[in-house]
Amino acid sequence: MINNPQAVAFDSSGNLFVANGDPNTGLENITKIATNGTQSIFASGLIFANGLAFDRAGNLFVAYFLSQGGAIYKFTPDGAQSTFFSSASEYPAGLAFNGAGDLFVSDVLNNVIYKFATNGTESIFATGQFRPHGLAFDSSGNLFVGNYTNITEITPGGAQSVFASGLSLANGVAFQPVPELAAAATNGIIQVAVTMPSPYYSTIVQVSTDMVNWTSVCTNTPPFTFTNLIDPTLPCRFYRALLGP
């Protein structure tokens, strides 16, 4: 049973991690839900975990804040805990990693987005947000920030614009993963490799000769490889991947 969930994140294997309340202690646990639905306690005894994010090495980062400040904890894949950052004047809420491995942190009370470079150096990436919370990067490296009234888009260069308005307390922001294709032809056979960032969803591979009319040729869950024979009577062949049912 998941009690009072606060934040969620997927690891690279598709397991779901949930920060949730422990009714027995009044503190919080990090619950791991495996791809088969099995639940286990990954970490316990936490305080008001607001944000979760995995780095490329599989380490889990957890943010929390209280009236006297906040901290970011780091958990290795085997559960070893350490303090990545702590402050009496900063209030980490949302976490997100960009493609370069830099950690971005929303400070919900100081209205600031901080950036922690891969070497641990902290800097201010953006200001002007009102109660920023949820963070998520799109595939182009733009940062989307859920705040008190809207979702703001911030380009890698720092330019800000309102992506969606009329919201209230957007605590969580996420992008649906998109399947990616890589094709290679050898000896009359085309190998189409399909990959996708976790979590993994059913994917349909389609083929076309004119990029107008498409035929579904394979449905599977990434990562997988689809083999297709080359028809010498066709001038060319195009492939695309769509999220399945």
Of the three residues 140, 165, 190, the one that is the final residue of a domain is 165
Residue 172 lies in a domain: no
Domain final residue pick, 165, 192, 217: 165
Same structural domain, 145 and 118:
yes
- Whether 235 has a pLDDT exceeding 80, the answer reads no
148 and 30 housed in the same domain: yes
Are residues 90 and 22 part of one domain?
Answer: yes
Are 59 and 134 contained in the same domain? yes
CATH number, position 17 = 2.120.10.30
Q: Residue 5 pLDDT more than 90?
A: no
Among 185, 187, 188, 181, residue whose Cα is nearest residue 220: 181
For range 169-183, the mean pLDDT: 82
Count of the separate structural domains present in the chain? 2
User: 75 with 141, same domain?
Assistant: yes
Q: Residues 146-167: what's their mean pLDDT?
A: 92
* Whether 49 and 73 share a structural domain: yes
Residue 170 lies in a domain: no
- 124 and 187 housed in the same domain: no
Same domain, 207 and 92: no
Contact 232, 165 (CB under 8 A): no
3-state secondary structure the chain: CCCCEEEEEECCCCCEEEEEECCCCCCEEEEEECCCCCEEEEEEEECCEEEEEECCCCCEEEEEEECCEEEEEEECCCCCEEEEEEECCCCEEEEEECCCCCEEEEECCCCEEEEECCCCCEEEEEECCCCCCCEEECCCCCEEEECCCEEEEECCCCCEEEEEECCCCCCCCCCCCCCEEEEEEECCEEEEEEECCCCCCCEEEEEECCCCCCEEEEEECCCEEEEEECCCCCCCCEEEEEECC
pLDDT digits (tens, 9 = 90+) for 51-99: 999 998 999 999 998 888 899 999 999 999 999 999 999 999 999 999 8
Residues 91 and 121 in one domain: yes
Q: Which residue, of 142, 165, 188, is where some domain finishes?
A: 165
Q: Is the pLDDT score of 233 beyond 70?
A: no
Round to whole Å and give the CA distance between 179 and 82.
34
Residue 234 confidence (pLDDT): 62
Q: What is this structure's pTM? A: 0.79
Q: Where in the sequence is the domain holding 22, given as residue range(s)?
A: 5-165
